[in-house]
Amino acid sequence: MTSTNSVGIVETQLFTFAEDEPFCLESGASLGPVTIAYETYGQLNADRSNAILICHALSGSAHAAGFHCAEERKPGWWDECIGPGKAFDTDRFFVICSNVLGSCYGSTGPMSIDPRTGKPYGLNFPVVTVGDMVRAQVKLIDHLGIDQLLCVAGGSMGGMQVLEWAAHHPRRVKSAMPLATTAYHSPMLIAFSEVGRQAIYADPYWNHGDYYDAGKKPDAGLAVARMVGHITYLSEESMHQKFGRRLRNIERYGYEFDTEFEVESYLKYNGNAFTRRFDANSYLYVTKAMDYFDLSQPSGSLAAAFAGSEHVKFLVVSFTSDWLYPSYHSKKLVSALMAVGADVTYLDIQSSWGHDAFLLEVETMTELLRSFLGRLVREEAVALPSSAPKPQMATTSRVSVIAAEKDLPLAHEALA
């Protein structure tokens, strides 16, 4: 299933922190052992200046590109933007993606074995924050021998990690791409998180998080949580386009409670599929980390959070139909960044795809990311890795001029 512009067959790797260094969490708890699952694509250049960290969203994994084996049907979650000649060009950049702390794709989380009991942590796993997730990534970057990332990029919860890097580890990043995200989780986001958690708590098979050795998991509750999430990732308009009021496999109403509408079928399918790939306890922990995220604290000023980030180059992107992370969140972020004199490029992209647009608007995103990265390569004189094919010039595109417009009104015209 690989193609010419794919990174091809890749393998998830594991990095376990040194045992003599306990990993201290924001809560005050300490955690150990800690393992972080990660993948890398492309090669480090001689001066280790071409590394890009990709941060995943709620349900993502380290598997951002390529295939784990020739039989794998779907590539990694951001394969459309990571690969030879793609937006994150692996002929040019060394791309890293790691699974967040608390998740269930190889990094330490509630499914992992608690060394004190020899059993899975369950709810004994400590609550982690986006700050904790990022500090674990910092240790991974140290382990890989990278002093400074050329770029850290991600959408949704991935974008929160990007902002955390820029705010709290500014010396370690040259540029940051927070996409379809926010600097603080809004009450509506907290509300949707909490509904998902309540759906899991309500499932008797959840059993206060202690289900790993039981025959049944809280699949019904997790499916409901995912269905709620799925609605919020779409827009009213995209749902009209995708489903309308079409019935599935029937001509007229059945006057019963079977699945009748296409949209119901889609939600049920995705809710059920999710239970085969995600852990309910991880859903609790990762959503809780998002709810706690608020860069404006403790000072109350978002600009204060970025006081040391004035040298970081930012590409901030929002999407007009994203009602979950509305554009005004990005605009507030941009105002804070400009207040500290950071170099900010901001686009509010016209799209009907809702929050999912950051993954679905591939052409626009490719043009935009390539242009931004091309400028970085020129300005930072980033060398190619030794094994790279002959250099390509960064694409000249309409969006490459936007960086110069940062004193103009924040909402730029949409790309075509």
Cβ 197 to a copy of itself shortest distance, Å: 7
Strands 82-83 and 88-89: parallel
In the region spanning residues 108 to 127, those forming contacts with a copy of itself, defined by CB under 8 A, are: 123, 126-127
Continuous H helices in 209-279:
219-233, 236-242, 262-275
**Which string of DSSP letters, residue by residue, matches 4-17?**
TTS--B---EEEE-
Distances (CA, A) of 14 to 11, 34, 55, 99, 144: 10, 10, 16, 10, 12
Which residue among the candidates 49, 103, 156, 330 is catalytic per the annotation? 156
The neighbour count for residue 29, using CB atoms within 10 Å, is: 14
- Is 245 a residue that touches a copy of itself (CB under 8 A)? yes
Are residues 379 and 343 in contact, defined by beta-carbon separation less than 8 angstroms?
no
> In the structure encoding, which two tokens stand for residue 80, read together?
């459309």
Could you say which residues in the range 295-324 bind a copy of itself, by CB under 8 A?
Answer: 323
Question: Is residue 152 a contact partner of residue 166, using CB atoms and an 8 Å limit?
Answer: yes
Residue 279 lies near a copy of itself (rule: CB under 8 A): no
Minimal distance in Å, beta carbon 390 to a copy of itself? 49
Binding map of a copy of itself across residues 335-374, x = CB under 8 A, - = no contact: ----------------------------------------
Extract the tokens encoding 338: 């400009």
Residue type, 140: L
Nearest-approach distance from CB 224 to a copy of itself, in angstroms: 5
Length reported for the chain: 416
Q: Any catalytic annotation for residue 355?
A: yes
When the beta carbons of 133 and 150 are compared against a copy of itself, the nearer one is 133
- Helix%, strand%, coil% for the chain, nearest 5: 35, 15, 50
Is residue 174 within the footprint of a copy of itself (CB under 8 A)? Answer: no
Shortest distance (Å) from residue 114 CB to a copy of itself: 17
| 156 in catalytic set | yes
Scanning 91-99, 185-193, 310-318, 368-376 for contacts with a copy of itself by CB under 8 A, the matching segment is 185-193
**322 flagged as catalytic:** yes
Q: Does 149 bind a copy of itself (CB under 8 A)?
A: no
Q: What angle do CA 91, 93, 99 make, to 5 degrees?
A: 120
- Residue ranges binding a copy of itself (CB under 8 A): 26-29, 123, 126-127, 184-188, 190-192, 194-195, 197-199, 201-204, 220-221, 223-224, 227-228, 231, 234, 236, 239-240, 242-245, 253, 255-257, 261-264, 267-268, 271, 284, 288, 291-292, 294, 323, 326
Query: Could you list the active site residues?
Result: 156, 322, 355
